[in-house]
Chain A
Amino acid sequence: MAAATEGYSPTIALDGARKQRGNLTQARIRWMILGVVIGFMLVGGRLVQLGMVETDQTIEGQARDVITATRPPILDRNGLEMAVDIRVPSLYAEPRRIIDVEEAVQKLRTVLPDLSETWLRNRLTGDKGFVWVQRELTPAIQDQVMRLGIPGIDFITESKRFYPAMNEAAHILGSTNVDNQGIAGIERHMDTESVALLQELGLARGNALTPVELSVDMRVQHVLHDQLVDAMTRYQAVAAAGVMMDIYTGEIVALASVPDFNPNEPASALVKDTFNRITSGIFEPGSIFKTVTIAGALDSGAVRATDQFDARYGIRFGRYTIDDFHGKHRIMSLSEIYKYSSNIGTIRIMQAMGKDNFRDFLGRMKFDQRVEFELPEMRVPTVPKTLSEVGAATASFGHGLSVSPLHMVTAYGALVNGGNYIAPTLYKRSVAEAEPLYERVVTPQTSEVMRYLMRLNALEGSGSQMNRAALGYRAGGKTGTAEKVVDGRYSSSKVTNFFASAFPLDNPRYAIVIMVDEPKAENPQSGTTAGWNAGHLTGRLIQRVAPMLGVAPDFSEALDRQIVPPALR
């Protein structure tokens, strides 16, 4: 047993020093690896955690691009700014960083007393990262607020649209909302075209956008607006509007309608009656439509410029008789019918042409559809699809159908420019660019007779008031006094007056339509018919704008004789 025990003496296993050290090193390496792995796992875990967190980018991220999104400046045809972007400070708050809401509210209200106290308190309480307090302030207010030194309140610079011409071109420009998006007028049109896309892509930043050039001449626009505002007081009218077009290019040189609004305060556009009467107002045009009827009849060949018409008696339709306002009641030539604005004569001319041909001609002149134009504010004209005998008779002198003044100026443009219909535009367009768009509506010969008739009316007819003011500028046109429908009847005291004209008629360049709504007599010696207000206004307008447009006055009578077509000499 002992031997056995002896034989089995416990073995003392001693590791060599080298081996011992090796084991220790291995253990250390393992610990190190573990440490490193844990370290990497920590870093990795943190990375994953960071990746999961949604950072609050509402202000520093994309939002900044949107609020500083700029719009291209709008220039008139001479390069004068009509709309520019300005950078204005906007006040925002970070409620989670505000320490004392009550103090912040009291302090802010010392600078911005318009803010409601409860609204502001609710706005600043909470754990939100960003809230607007008030947008588009002035640099002076920014200074004052900064001096208050409230933590969690700061400013950011925003782009804001500014219209230096104030009210003057309001209906052309329209306006933009607080986010710099167009909500009316040409601004809206620009958005539908391209600007919105640019802003979305984030390209519309800084002032790098190419300016948009309009066809409008601000000098002419100013004179027109000035005259219209003047007409409101001079004739105590409820409204006045005017439009002027280059007849060869279709460019709108001026377009205004009062009452209007200030595009810098878009809310002022919501006031009643500030709509654009040129494009979105439709009216019975009255006698200015006779020009269209006569042109159509001449062009159809059914009537010649030398023809005579029986205007001795009123024309009966059942119970109604249509008679003349300035009744002559005799046999009249075509030019006399135009000069005396004879309803009877115009009906006879229309009847010679035939009512269906007349309706076709209205379609050819595009009176039954919207005018192709940039402004989104448009109304569809009301022109009957087929005309009855009575309907055609009243339509021939501009009653029983409603069109916009823009229709009329385009039609007049086509009738005097040699017979080519050209859709109006607010963008710059050269004659070469416009020519492919021409649509022939009447022959050059008809156009020649129309020029003569319009000039004749200025020299001898209802346009003489206009001619007296615009002497030397060879202007001519037609008056139209349309009675308003009051309680289902035509009222003789409430009228809408028009004057449609063109100048200089020896070589016409511009067509104008002026409208004065419900005018009263300027003085006891004057009347309320169109020649006294819309006509005279046109004369004053031409007198002031013709030199700006490079039309020199010429008093020689040879020019007027030249306008007379050979057949009538």
Chain B
Amino acid sequence: MIRNINIFLIFASIVMLAGVYALKFSIEGTAAERTALTATISEQEGKLSLLKADWAVLNQPGYIDPIVRRHEAELEIAAVRQEQFGSFAALPMRPAKPDSAAMDALFEAIAMGIDPIDAILELEGIE
């Protein structure tokens, strides 16, 4: 009886030993993986910080302005002048009466099958 129990216990302890060792090694593996990941993250954070710094440099008005200046002639751009600003208040009011004669002429033309837009499209070379 006792003998059987002993044999059982011996096997059980061997199995458990194997289990514990397996667990230990898997944990060590996981820890190593974690360390590697931490290292990768920190390395990538470092690279990211450099990229962010690069981006910040590229975004600086002091960096962009000389580029704009260099291409001023080619792109036909210039600093905005005061006269170029407008506002909604400065827009002329709508005419008091719609130009009914012109509208009538347009509708009649469309009714007759002549669409003025065709002429424009043709001129632009759009089918």
Contact = CB atoms under 8 A, between A and B. Distances in A.
Interface of A: 80-81, 84-88, 139, 157, 162, 164-166, 168, 206-207, 218-219, 221-223, 225-226, 471-473, 543-544, 547, 552-553, 555
Contacts of B45: 87, 206-207
Interface in B81-101: 82-83, 85, 87
A84 B42 contact: no
B29 to A, nearest CB: 24
A552 B53 contact: no
Rank and list the top 8 A-B pairs by shortest CB-CB distance, nearest first. Answer: A87-B46, A222-B61, A81-B56, A164-B56, A553-B82, A472-B82, A164-B57, A86-B49
B108 to A, nearest CB: 44
A165 B62 contact: yes
A142 to B, nearest CB: 11
Interface of A is mostly: mixed
A84 B56 contact: yes
B49 A547 contact: no
B60 A157 contact: no
A81 B65 contact: no
5 contacts: A81-B56, A162-B53, A222-B62, A472-B82, A543-B82
Contacts, number: 66
A168 B62 contact: yes
B114 interface: no
A552 B85 contact: yes
A168 B87 CA distance: 33
Contacts of B61: 218-219, 221-223
Given A544-B79, A552-B87, A86 B53 contact: yes
B62 A225 contact: yes
A226 to B, nearest CB: 7
B42 to A, nearest CB: 7
Contact of A157 (B42, B62, B85, B87): B42
Contacts of A206: 45
B78 interface: no
Contacts of B65: 222, 226
Contacts of B49: 84-87, 207
Given A84-B52, A84-B53, A547 B85 contact: yes
B85 A80 contact: no
A88 B49 CA distance: 9
Given A81-B52, A84-B53, A85-B49, A553 B60 contact: no
Question: Which one of B45, B56, B59 has the highest number of Cβ atoms from chain A below 10 Å of its Cβ?
Answer: B56
Contacts of B46: 86-88, 157
Interface in B13-61: 42, 45-46, 49-50, 52-53, 56-57, 59-61
Contacts of A85: 49
A130 B59 CA distance: 40
Contacts of B56: 80-81, 84, 164
A459 to B, nearest CB: 16
B80 interface: yes
B85 A553 contact: yes
Contacts of A87: 42, 45-46, 49-50
B82 A165 contact: no
A164 B49 CA distance: 12
Nearest to B42: A157
Residue picked from B53, B60, B65, most chain A C-beta under 10 Å: B60
Contacts of B62: 165-166, 168, 222, 225-226
Nearest to A226: B65
Given A86-B46, A139-B50, A547-B80, 14 more contacts: A80-B56, A81-B56, A84-B49, A86-B49, A87-B46, A164-B60, A168-B60, A207-B45, A218-B60, A222-B62, A226-B62, A226-B65, A552-B87, A553-B83
Nearest to B50: A86
B119 to A, nearest CB: 40
B78 to A, nearest CB: 12
A167 B94 CA distance: 52
A317 to B, nearest CB: 47
- Which interface residue of B46, B49, B50 has the most chain A CB atoms within 10 A? B49
Nearest to A218: B61
Contacts of A552: 85, 87
A165 B60 contact: yes
A544 B82 CA distance: 9
A162 B57 CA distance: 10
A17 B49 CA distance: 84
A552 B49 CA distance: 39
A256 to B, nearest CB: 11
A481 B83 CA distance: 32
Q: Which of A206, A472, A543, A553 neighbours the largest number of chain B CB atoms within 10 Å of its CB?
A: A553
Given A85-B49, A87-B45, A80 B60 contact: yes
A226 B63 CA distance: 12
Contacts of A543: 82
B18 to A, nearest CB: 28
Given A207-B45, A226-B65, A164 B53 contact: yes
A207 to B, nearest CB: 7
A218 B65 CA distance: 12
B50 A80 contact: no
Contacts of B83: 553
Q: Which of A139, A162, A207, A218 has the most CB of B within 10 A?
A: A162
Contacts of A221: 61
B69 to A, nearest CB: 10
A388 B59 CA distance: 55
A80 B82 contact: no
Contacts of A223: 61
Contacts of A219: 61
A449 to B, nearest CB: 27
Nearest to A81: B56
